Amino acid sequence: QEEEDEEEEGEEDIPAASIAEFADGCTLHGLNHVVPEEGCKLANCGTRRVLWTIAFLFSVFMFLFQIADRILYYLEYHHITMLDEQDMNLMVFPAVTFCNLNSFRKSRVTYTDLVFAGTMLGYQDGMDPGFQLAPDTSAPGQPFSLREFFDRTSHDLDGMLLECSYRGAECEPGFFTTEFTQIFILYYFVSG
């Protein structure tokens, strides 16, 4: 009991900061103009303080009004859902595109491919490829063609397209167009 009394007495000994000191150090804009300074006489700063008080209270009122207005609006549970559903037998279908980032299959790369396109594949002369090379099918002396390389080593759409139907009919890899880019191979299907 005595310890509690001593703590209460210790708290009472600390002088409370004046409202003017608080307002002067406060970051709330305008509060330091509302509360009079220590040496401010009513005749010197009364009109200015009244105007600042009105502006400050108006700002606080508008702030609280907007908060209350938005809370009440939220509690009204406004919702607008517009659903316009139409059944159509024939719809224009957008293009479907597959982008294959795996440009080639290692299982189809030959020694000739490593000689001509090795740097593109990350292979350097004398380096072990780290996988079984495919038998070389190109004729000796035939010029190397990147288009032929990608045609031969790229993933076939036959192996990637597991199931496809469009307007109730089965679609097959022949419906897709192949396009080669610098980074990957595109297979796209356009209905129109």
Task: State the residue range of the domain holding 163.
Answer: 96-189
pLDDT for the residue numbered 68: 97
Helix axes 146-153, 111-121, angle to 10 degrees: 100
Q: What are phi and psi of 120, to 5 degrees?
A: -65, -30
Q: How far apart are CA 19 and CA 38, in angstroms?
A: 10
**Mean local confidence (pLDDT), 35-43:** 62
**Mean local confidence (pLDDT), 6-14:** 54
Percentage of the chain with pLDDT > 70? Answer: 81
pLDDT for the residue numbered 38: 61
Least confident of 11-20, 68-77, 123-132, 153-162: 11-20
**Mean local confidence (pLDDT), 80-98:** 73
Non-local CB neighbours of 55 within 8 Å, separated by 6+ positions = 30
pLDDT for the residue numbered 1: 57
Given 46, 75, 104, the domain boundary residue is 75
Q: What are phi and psi of 186, to 5 degrees?
A: -105, 135
pLDDT for the residue numbered 160: 80
Indicate the number of domains in the chain.
Answer: 2
First to last CA, the chain: 91
Q: Compare 89 and 113 and report the one with higher pLDDT.
A: 113
Tell whether 121 and 181 lie within a shared domain. yes
pLDDT for the residue numbered 183: 66
Tell whether 27 and 110 lie within a shared domain. no
Contact 133, 109 (CB under 8 A): yes
| pLDDT exceeds 60 at position 43 | no
pLDDT for the residue numbered 16: 47
How confident is residue 64, by pLDDT bands cut at 50, 70 and 90?
Answer: very high
Tell whether 50 and 106 lie within a shared domain. no
| pLDDT exceeds 90 at position 72 | yes
Tell whether 163 and 109 lie within a shared domain. yes
The pTM score is 0.41
What are residue 166's DSSP bridge partners?
169
**Residue 91 forms part of a structural domain:** no
| pLDDT exceeds 50 at position 189 | yes
**Residue 9 forms part of a structural domain:** no
Q: How far apart are CA 189 and CA 7, in angstroms?
A: 82
Given 75, 107, 122, the domain boundary residue is 75
